[in-house]
């Protein structure tokens, strides 16, 4: 559903323009039943080349490693079996969404179905495919993480692969494409002025920074969500909800509520990436002392209540 929100051009026009033929997708393709079985058989035999295998959703290995909790209807075979077989034929393998990349929400809790990602189980390599798996291109699985993933992250990855411009150097340490994973959600967040002054919201309806009290981890989470935005204008933090780091493995079990900030001695446990604790404490103290009235009052209001001061131009 997220991918279908790709705009200007739409996803199907974009793939066609890049010379990418969509062989089959369970929700987008007309082919069903025997047609799909025949197509899969052609790919499995090598008669039909498979340039890119995209996998959505976690793979269930249960019960007892058989994968039979998750069968591909009409084939008598598990998704685990199909992914293992088709991945061996593909030039590239792309996991789409955090369930497919690292297990995601479906792997939370006791995980009785043994849900895993395509090549990762949480932060560890070795999911449905082994840690040593490499596709026909010599690449590991490309992890387009996000819950949901941004449509442009998917299409840009496919376009880069189609033009042979994505190699292993273009992936970060968790296999995510660096064109979006080298950014933080914090970058271009509209609440950054509040963050700079440590002017914090205490309720979700308020305008201030959500890091100190409301669980926002945008200063630690990778993603260009506030640069690229969603549907041309939105993001979680722009909509007033904290970033929950959905592009990361094991984000689904932070050990506390998503809208809670764990603290030790009044200091948030999860500090911004690359910032030593002592520096943060010193900066926060100075920032709070220097907070303008406009920023301080707007931070705890549900709308802008104090506009910027008017200044006369110097003569």
Whether the Cβ atoms of residue 244 and residue 215 lie closer than 8 Å to each other: yes
Q: Is 260 helix (H, G, I), strand (E, B) or coil?
A: coil
Per-residue model confidence (pLDDT) at position 62: 97
Per-residue model confidence (pLDDT) at position 312: 86
pTM for this entry = 0.92
Q: What is the enclosing helix (H) or strand (E) of 43?
A: helix 33-45
Whether the Cβ atoms of residue 207 and residue 201 lie closer than 8 Å to each other: yes
Per-residue model confidence (pLDDT) at position 298: 95
Strand partners, 267: 264
Domains of the chain, earliest start first:
2-179 (3.40.50.700), 183-305 (4.10.480.10)
Rounded to an integer, what distance in angstroms lies between the CA atom of residue 123 and that of residue 22?
Answer: 31
CA–CA distances in Å: residue 199 to residues 222, 274, 297, 303:
23, 21, 9, 15
DSSP state of 309: P
CA–CA distances in Å: residue 93 to residues 18, 56, 129:
18, 11, 11
Residue 93 tokens, joined: 């393998």
Per-residue model confidence (pLDDT) at position 214: 96
Residues of the chain with pLDDT under 70: none
| DSSP assignment of 172-205 | -TTS-BHHHHTSBTTTT-TTHHHHHTT-B-SSTT
DSSP state of 96: E
Per-residue model confidence (pLDDT) at position 294: 94
Phi, psi of 239 (to 5 degrees): -90, 0
Nearest to 31 by CA among 19, 15, 42: 42
């Amino acid at each position: 559903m997220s991918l279908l929100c790709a705009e200007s051009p739409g996803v199907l026009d974009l793939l066609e323009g890049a010379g990418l033929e969509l062989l089959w997708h369970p929700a987008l393709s007309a082919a069903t039943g025997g047609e799909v079985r025949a197509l899969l058989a052609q790919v499995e035999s090598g008669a039909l080349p498979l340039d890119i295998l995209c996998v959505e959703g976690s793979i269930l290995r249960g019960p007892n490693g058989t994968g039979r909790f998750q069968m591909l209807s009409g084939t008598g075979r598990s998704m685990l079996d199909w992914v293992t077989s088709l991945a061996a034929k593909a030039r590239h393998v792309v996991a789409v969404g955090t369930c497919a990349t690292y297990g995601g929400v479906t792997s939370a809790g006791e995980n009785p179905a043994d849900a895993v990602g395509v090549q990762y189980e949480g932060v560890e390599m070795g999911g449905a495919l082994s840690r040593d798996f490499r596709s026909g291109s010599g690449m590991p699985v490309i992890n387009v993480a996000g819950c949901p993933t941004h449509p442009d992250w998917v299409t840009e990855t496919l376009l880069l692969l189609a033009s042979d411009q994505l190699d292993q150097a273009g992936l970060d340490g968790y296999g995510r494409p660096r064109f979006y994973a080298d950014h933080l959600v914090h970058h271009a967040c509209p609440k950054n002025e509040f963050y700079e002054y440590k002017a914090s919201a205490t309720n979700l309806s308020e305008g201030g920074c959500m890091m100190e009290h409301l669980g926002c981890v945008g200063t630690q989470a990778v993603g260009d969500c506030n640069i690229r935005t969603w549907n041309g204008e939105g993001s979680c933090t722009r909509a007033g909800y904290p970033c929950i780091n959905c592009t990361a493995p094991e984000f689904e079990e932070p050990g506390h509520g998503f809208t809670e900030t764990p603290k030790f001695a009044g200091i948030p446990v999860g500090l911004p990436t690359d910032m030593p604790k002592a520096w943060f404490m010193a900066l926060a103290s100075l920032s709070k002392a220097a907070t303008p009235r406009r920023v301080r009052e707007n931070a705890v209001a549900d709308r802008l209540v104090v506009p910027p001061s008017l200044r006369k131009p110097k003569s």
